[in-house]
Structure 1
């Protein structure tokens, strides 16, 4: 998917990018490739693949949820900025908070935000388990996003504590998403969530499958969650 195909594909979904926004995606790609030579940010560096498997894939969540009325978004384990930075480029009104456990990646994201001249973006070097206990952030976000971070039972414990009551947790998964969701039913319920809708998406060009899982936050998460760093992964709620 080249830049023009990317632009047209988003237009078909009602997302019209300005010349400046397209320029920001170009800068994003250049910066990602430059920094990837110094540190491991992504295994995908081919331009057309980055536009398809990172940029288009990140923005695809907006095909199923309108971000017009949302303001505060948290991206847990964003890595090289996916999906929240592409969403921020498309929807500049969003206030983005990114949490990542690797300090080097946070350094890249801070540099990227400066290059893209993004406002209202914050980066935190922290484990999701400790970030979710922080009273400043716990249950304050309209939407919490995560893309390919951990299996659903684990991811729910990392993300749902950050979602405000009435807010939304969106997990962006691969083809195995529905299977993971079956095993995560107890965790979602215990943590105060309820599955709202699951969407299936096939990426254009190469046809790989994606699952987008939307979970409503119905009630406050019990205070004991998330548990200590590493515990959710070792002993998921199942």
Structure 2
């Protein structure tokens, strides 16, 4: 999917990108490839693949969720800024917070947001476990996103404490896994969440499946969660 195909595909979804937004995606692509030579940000570097598997893939969250364009969103472990930075380009009024445990990635994201001229983007070098216990951030976000390979019961403990009551934890998965969802349901319930639905989508051209798991925060998360760094991964909630 080259840039013009990307634009046309979004137009088919009733999303018209401006020339400025297209220029921002172009800058994003070139900066990603440039920095990727110095540090490991992504294995995907071909232009058509970046536009499809990073940019378009990230925007599926907005397209399928009808996001409030003025919401506060937190992206946990966003790596090179996915899905939050493409969403911020699409919805400039979003308030975006990114937390990542690797300082080098935060340095890249700072340079990226400066080059793209994005405001109201807050970057934090921290572990999700400690970030979620910070009262300045705990239960403050309308949406919390994770596009990570960790299992859902682990992601739920890292993300749900940050979601405000009636907000949403949105987990993006490349593969469908009923087993993973069933395994995570006790953790989701203990953390105050409720599984609402799974939205299945196919990427254009490639047909690759994507799964958006929608979990709503129904109750306040017990204070003991998230537990100390490393524990959610070593001993997931059962």
TM-score range, shorter chain: over 0.9
| Deviation by residue 1:180-217 (Cα, 9 ceiling, x = unmatched) | 21110000000000011110111111121111001110
**What residue is the counterpart of 1:44 in the other structure?**
44
| Deviation by residue 1:22-77 (Cα, 9 ceiling, x = unmatched) | 00000000000000000000000000000000000000111211123542100000
RMSD: 1.0
**What residue is the counterpart of 2:75 in the other structure?**
75
Aligned partners of 2:198, 2:118: CA distance in 1, in Å? Answer: 31
Aligned partners of 1:68, 1:166: CA distance in 2, in Å? Answer: 13
**What residue is the counterpart of 1:3 in the other structure?**
3
Aligned partners of 1:177, 1:41: CA distance in 2, in Å? Answer: 26
**What residue is the counterpart of 1:169 in the other structure?**
169
Whether the aligned pair in 2 keeps the contact of 1:169 and 1:215 (CA below 8 Å) is: yes
**What residue is the counterpart of 2:89 in the other structure?**
89
Aligned partners of 2:63, 2:113: CA distance in 1, in Å? Answer: 24
**What residue is the counterpart of 1:35 in the other structure?**
35
Aligned partners of 2:175, 2:26: CA distance in 1, in Å? Answer: 29
Aligned partners of 2:69, 2:28: CA distance in 1, in Å? Answer: 26
Aligned partners of 1:22, 1:3: CA distance in 2, in Å? Answer: 8
| 1:16-165 correspondence runs (5 A) | 16-68=16-68, 70-165=70-165
Whether the aligned pair in 1 keeps the contact of 2:69 and 2:94 (CA below 8 Å) is: no
**What residue is the counterpart of 2:14 in the other structure?**
14
The total of aligned residue pairs comes to 238
Aligned partners of 1:105, 1:177: CA distance in 2, in Å? Answer: 29
> Tell me, what secondary structure is at the counterpart of 2:56?
helix
Structure 1 gaps, min length 5: none
Whether the aligned pair in 1 keeps the contact of 2:154 and 2:236 (CA below 8 Å) is: yes
Aligned partners of 1:69, 1:214: CA distance in 2, in Å? Answer: 18
Judged with a 3 Å threshold, the aligned counterparts in structure 2 of structure 1 residues 80 and 235 are, in CA distance, closer, same or farther, namely same
> Tell me, what secondary structure is at the counterpart of 2:119?
coil
TM norm structure 2:
0.98
> Tell me, what secondary structure is at the counterpart of 2:228?
coil
Q: CA deviation at 1:178?
A: 3.5
Aligned partners of 1:124, 1:153: CA distance in 2, in Å? Answer: 23
TM norm structure 1:
0.98
Judged with a 3 Å threshold, the aligned counterparts in structure 2 of structure 1 residues 4 and 179 are, in CA distance, closer, same or farther, namely farther
> Tell me, what secondary structure is at the counterpart of 1:52?
helix
